[in-house]
Structures are given as C-alpha cells and as structure tokens.
Structure 1
C-alpha cells in the first residue's frame, strides 16, 4: 500500500458507464484484465474507451502495467496544473480542455525489504486535440518505513512535464493506524514549478507563484 499525494494523474481519471470488464484468474503470480467502454453516440468512436493491463506478484516483488485510450475527454488543466493556456488555447479557470484522443500508459512496482517498501511509477499521457499533441510524462518514486505495526513514515518525490513546463514535488507522510479501518495522517508537500508555470498541488488551489508548500492532517476512515 502506498500513502501520500500522487502526481496529478487524476487529470486523466474518468468515470465510465456502459462498459464490459474482464479479469483473469491468478496464474503463477500473473493477472491480466481488459475493459471496453461503449460510445453511447451515433459515431462509432465518440466517447469510446478501452483499457488493458497486467499485474505480477511474487514474494516481496509486485509489478503492474496498464494502457488506456479515451475519446473526447475533458481535463481540468487550469485548476489541476495551474496552466493558463494549453496548445495555444487560453484556459478559463473554471473551464475544461476537451481532447479528441487521450492515450495513457504506465508501469510501476514495489519491493519489500523488511520493514521498508520501495516503490516507483512511470506514466505517459498523450493528449491530442486540434491536430496537435502533447506528452504528459511523470516519474514517481519513494519509500515507506513501517516503524511499528501501527506507525508508518513515508517519503517520496515526483516530477512531471507538460507543454514545455515542469512540476516537481517532495512529500513526507506520517500515518498512525488506530485500527484496521481508521488512520490518522499528517503530510507535508513542497512543490516547485519551472519558470512561467504555477505550482498547483492536486486537490489544493493553485499557488500565486511557482512554489507551494502544503500541510495536511486528518483521518482516513475505510468502509
């Protein structure tokens, strides 16, 4: 399990309806799956989506890879990344950017060494609209240390690039489990954006500059 704030990959998370999904049985540690989302439109491609992936687990090693493709998807680039324009189009702060095609690929894994879990993730999102395309790449890595059965400390960093800009964030996480269903947490996140870009931690309003420091504390309740 990983804790902390992830790169702003939620920009490409979508809710899907009218889909079919397949997931295989575990065979020698390997599980594969696929999903297809129907268009719901007269066009055979408008709103269409599909995805497939695989996981592998053996002892302390866990690996996963996935590929997804979406048609006609909206992105909240203004609030999500603090961009004021994208592919030459001005972005309203309360509006969305609609891409004709989005291709999302990622590979990640973790490795357990005693009480330490190392983890890493690499993703690329190709956004195509108006005859132009941009690649949104993210590299993420870190480690979690289980101090006691109830207390965990995590540290990690990610860096992402899009449309000639870069965002980098370092995160330190403290998680204390009161029970299997209830956890207390405290996070500290420091983000630095390249010159001309705006720092914007996911879930937090964009900064007024290219730097942002966020402190979060609260309770996780699992149901």
Structure 2
C-alpha cells in the first residue's frame, strides 16, 4: 500500500508540473495509437503463414507534444514519439526509446519553425499523405520494400529541420544532418529539400533527399562497409539489400492528388539512386544502381464512416520488375476507432539486388520463394 501511495503521489506531482504554466511547457498532450491485425501470407520464405501482425495500417506508437508561449507569436515546441509492437511489447526503430521523434525547437507564426533532434525524413512527411500505404493500404501497400522510404521505415539522427509558414498555399521545408565524423564534413551527412501544398481540390508535394553512408546513417548498420570485407547487412529486404553498401543514397519524388466530391485520385513517382555501391561478402554488385517507382490510386468515401481504396504500383530495378495491386477498406466505429481490411497481390520478375531470381518482398515480411505473392489482413486501430 505504501509503495502504491508513493507511485500515485509521484504521478500526481508530475501531472501537476506538466499542466502548470511555466513548468516545462504551457501545454503538453499525450497521444498514441494501438494497431493490431490478423495477417495471411501465401508465401513466406516458401510456406504460407497466418499470424498476428502489429501496425497493419501504421505503426503502434505513443508520444507527447508540448509548447510554451514565448510571446510575440513565438513558441518553444517539443515532440517525443516511440514505436512498439502490440503483440510482443518490443520497441520499434531498432530498440530506440523515442525512435520516431525526439525533437525540440522554436515556431513562429511569421517565420516558420526550426526543430533539432531525431526525426523522419521529408520523404514520408511530404509524399506519403496521398500514397496508398497511408490512405488505405498500410505497410502491405508500400512501394517495393519501401525502397524510397516514402512510408517512413527509417528515421534520421542529428537533424536540423526548417519549415516555412504557408506561402500562397505552399509550405517549404529543408533538413540538414551533419555527419559529426572527425576529419570529414561529408561523412554521414544528409540534406533534403521539399515543398507541399494545396490549391482547391489539388494537392501536391516534391522532395529531394541526399544521404551519405546510408548503412550507418539510416539503416542501423553497426559499421560502414569496406570493399572485399565481411559486412553485416542491416537490410533483409532483397529488393534493395544488395545495395546497402552504397556510399550515397538519393531519392527524388513527387506526388499529385485531386479530390472531387467523395473521391480522390493520386499518383506518387520516385527515383532512388544507390551511388558507388561497394562489393562486399553480402553485397555482390558494385557501381551505381537505380530503382524507379510509379503508383496510382483511387479512394472513395462511400459514407462518412466507410472508405474504400484501390491502387496499382510498379517498381523497376536494374534487372528486376515488381508489380503490385492493392485493395483496402476501413469502417469507423467511432471518431477514434476503426476496423480495416487490406488485400494485396504482387508479382516479380528478373534478378533482384542480391543476384537471385526476384520475388515479392512485402515490407516487414519474409520474402516469397515464388514470383507471386498474395496477402490479406484484417485489423483494428484505436487512437487516444
């Protein structure tokens, strides 16, 4: 009883501090999402599989955002966000406590905002609101293996991010991440530029990203690759794991969407460049390699509670081709809870990045040993 009383008292003190003007922040909001589903895969490494799967329509997460009014239209702001698996309780993002966001900054009504810390790239922040993976399909409907990171599989450390206020309906953004490596300014460096906006029923966005040493800067490798040496590959998705020893990773992409009545039609185009790939024991191809993606989708809000979407996606590698059809639907049970269903059919031909026959490799799932893959999931998502 005494221990419970102490915990209760401590929680009360913290709550009071967070809510008190001038203590840490003038306002703090705790939020989160729980997402779980049943998933069927027709071919998971050679066998069909039926399993529980967290984060079907987007990762389960919790976080805090806060602000303090500094006067003159300026605020101090922060955001902490942690991803986790609802079925195991394990942290996402390679075990980082606040692996999705850990940022602090300043925001001004007239001049925009600047934030520092760990953050998503501009690629998912600007391009994925109109992508099928966000509007109706979830992780199953990402571009092949999320090769362009439009779904936001990976985040960047040491980010300085600026975002302008809206100018004639358009917001401009930029990211710079210094590598922090002694003796080399370019080592581990990343920079990105982008814009997003809307005019009437038209929405648009464009992003360019340039990241050096992506194995350690972006993909959680323990060490940079060395030519001809053993390399612990941080990637398992065969769509592009053979290029993980690249010296430079670049993505250029754009999206265009038009909303009319209860319908929206959208397209997302990206080009991903793996520059100066080093040949190692786990990455067989040297040189520079490209993967280009085209997506088209249509969503229809049949009723205020019921949404349905359909889309097609094509990814072209050096010698591989990946086709995918996506179908999804969701039904609101309340403002914060909905059920959903997603069906995906995928096909691949050619040779993948590891030098083997290409097969569908859906994000977060074992690769298919067949050129064809069928997957479906039914899930529940609740926000608080």
TM-score by length of 1: 0.88
* 2:236 aligned to which of 79, 86, 89: 79
Query: Are the structure 2 counterparts of residues 134 and 82 from structure 1 closer, same or farther at C-alpha, using a change threshold of 3 Å?
Result: closer
Counterpart in 2 of 1:198?
Answer: 359
* Counterpart-to-counterpart distance in 2, 1:80 and 1:173: 23
**Structure 1 match to 2:189:** 48
CA contact (8 A) 2:136 2:308 kept: no
Which among 159, 165, 181 is matched to residue 19 of structure 1?
Answer: 159
Count of residue pairs the alignment pairs up: 213
Structure 2 matches for 1:147-158, cutoff 5 A? 147-158=302-313
| Distance in 2, Cα, partners of 1:39 & 1:68 | 15
Unaligned 5+ runs, structure 1? 88-96
Quick check: 1:70–1:103 contact (8 Å CA) kept in 2?
yes
Counterpart CA distance in 2 for 1:217 and 1:41 is: 46
Superposed counterparts of 1:66-145, under 5 Å: 66-74=207-215, 79-81=236-238, 86=242, 97-128=244-275, 129-130=277-278, 132-145=287-300
Maintained 8 Å contact 2:144/2:239: no
Q: How much is the aligned-residue C-alpha RMSD, in angstroms?
A: 2.0
Measured in 2, the distance between the counterparts of 1:112 and 1:23 equals 25
d(CA) in 2 for partners of 1:8, 1:165: 11
Shift of 1:56: 2.0
Contact 1:11 1:77 in 2 (8 A): no
Question: Which structure shows the bigger proportion of residues in helix conformation?
Answer: 2
Specify which of 339, 346, 349 is matched with residue 184 of structure 1.
339
Alignment partner, residue 93 of structure 1: none
TM-score, reference length from structure 2: 0.53
CA distance change for structure 1 residues 139 and 38 in 2, over 3 Å: closer, same or farther? Answer: same
How many Å apart are 1:40 and its aligned residue? 1.8
SS of 1:3's equivalent in the other structure is helix
Q: Residue 9 and residue 35 in structure 1: after superposition, are their counterparts in 2 closer, same or farther (change >3 A)?
A: farther
Q: Is the 8 A contact 2:179 2:185 kept in 1?
A: yes
How much does 1:82 deviate? 5.2
Q: 2:328 corresponds to which residue? A: 173
Change (3 A) 1:78 1:68: closer
What stretches of structure 2 of length at least 5 have no aligned partner? 1-128, 130-134, 220-232, 279-285, 351-356
Quick one: distance in 2 between partners of 1:179 and 1:31? 32
Deviation at 1:221, TM superposition (A): 2.5
In the alignment, is the contact (CA less than 8 A) between 2:145 and 2:237 conserved in 1? no
> Could you say which structure has the larger radius of gyration?
2
In the alignment, is the contact (CA less than 8 A) between 1:61 and 1:110 conserved in 2? yes
Matched position secondary structure for 2:236: helix
Aligned residues of 1:8 and 1:81 also touching (Cα < 8 A):
no
Change (3 A) 1:138 1:67: same
